Amino acid sequence: MFGYLLKRLIQMTLVLWVVSVIVFLMMSFTGDPVFMVVPIDATDSEIAQARRLLGLDQSPLVQYWRFLTSLVQGDFGQSYVFRQPAMTLILERLPATVEMVLVAMVMAVAVAIPLGVYAGANPEGRLSRTIMAGSLLGISLPGFWVGMVLIYLFAVHWGVFPSSGRGDTAELFGLRISLLTWDGWHHIILPAVTLSLGTMAILLRMTRAGMMEVGRQDFMKFARAKGATRHDVLYKHGLKNALIPVVTIFGLQLGDLIAFATITETIFSWPGMGKLLIDSIYRADRPVIVVYLMLVALIFVVINFLVDLVYTLIDPRISLK
């Protein structure tokens, strides 16, 4: 176990180092950040002084070394626009994004797994074909269009849900959480549904494919011959053995939604990391962009590590070795 953890830690460190190099190179070609921190009427001497303070008068290797040491120390610099530590800005927005993604993933799993099991167990049924047609529609429809349609129907036309904002929040362990208030739940439904549809369709199709493959195995036939109920055959014997690819896709989708919920957050004016990223890109706020990219990379490597651990819990034949 210790050897496996050490190996994965080294792999994660290498991945994050490669990402830091890519981020540094990307930021080096996005313009001169000096003009974001000096007044419009700044003189040449003031511009040169700002360049020295930012370390931009050094060689690229020296600049990268300073960049890397700052990352290791957790110092990402001050936001050019908000004049606050970039990490603080991201961490303030992180709970809003995470809670929306978690609600979306719960919705996706709660709908996709039962429907996928049913469609896999009855592949030729009319209802199964309808379910698969719906899943294809869920994959095909762009998220921004779904969001606008939901806003028009449920916010503008029927007035059931609000069209934007996060609603009231309550404090928990120093974090502002909207899921602790009824108004927060009222605001999160539409963006969470918008975010969940694509993932729901993918998980449904993966579950159906896994159940169809597992259904042809001998142990499933033996379970039926032994007199196990249909529910036990499908969920206790079949689903457990079909979950490996589903868990893989779940982990990737979880990281993907946390990282790239930008469109949904922009449409619903949800004050999460994605909306902050869009605003920062428009304003060329490099420190905030750097924090976002590095945090997303960290989230992905941690999720992949956790998915590998879940494999061993689902299937005892898989060991950490």
Q: What tokens does 252 get?
A: 């990737």
Is CATH 1.10.3720.10 correct for 86-314?
Answer: yes
**For range 131-138, the mean pLDDT:** 92
**Cβ atoms of 275 and 269 closer than 8 Å:** yes
Residue 14 in this model has a pLDDT that exceeds 70: yes
Q: Which of 270, 9, 57 is nearest to 279 (CA)?
A: 270
CA atoms within 13 A on the CB side of 94: 15
**Who has greater pLDDT, 109 or 319?**
109
Average pLDDT in the 104-110 region? 96
pLDDT at 244: 86
At 72, the pLDDT band (50, 70, 90 cuts) reads confident
Residue-level pLDDT at 319: 65
117 pLDDT above the threshold of 90 = yes
The total number of residues written for the chain in this structure: 321
Give the bridge partners for 172, in sequence order.
175
Between residues 302 and 282, which one has the greater pLDDT?
Answer: 302
Contact 212, 132 (CB under 8 A): no
Beta bridge partners of 177: 170
Sign of dihedral through CA atoms 66, 67, 69, 75? positive
Q: What is the pTM of this model?
A: 0.86
Which pLDDT value is given to residue 317? Answer: 67
How far apart CA 310 and CA 321 sit, in angstroms, is 14
| Helix (H), strand (E) at residue 175 | strand 175-177
Cα 21 to Cα 25: distance, rounded to the nearest angstrom: 6
> Quick check: helix, strand or coil at residue 304?
helix
Mean pLDDT of 57-69: 85
C-alpha to C-alpha distance for 152 and 124, rounded to whole angstroms: 36
Show me where the domains of the chain are located: 2-65, 86-314
The span from the CA of 191 to the CA of 165, in Å, is 10
Q: For 21-60, write each residue's pLDDT tens digit.
A: 999 888 877 667 777 777 777 788 887 887 787 777 788 8
Task: Pick the more confident residue, 316 or 277.
Answer: 277
pLDDT of residue 45: 84
Predicted pLDDT of residue 320: 59
Residue 94 has a pLDDT of 92
Task: Find the mean pLDDT for residues 215-233.
Answer: 85
What average pLDDT does the chain have? 88
Per-residue pLDDT at 318 exceeds 70:
no
Cα dist from 268 to 172, 176, 179, 186, 196, whole Å: 24, 19, 17, 13, 14
Q: Which two tokens stand for residue 78?
A: 């001050």
pLDDT tens digits, 243-258 = 888 998 999 899 899 8
pLDDT at residue 321 is higher than 70: no
Question: Which structure tokens are listed for 230?
Answer: 């249909």
Q: So what's the pLDDT on residue 54?
A: 72
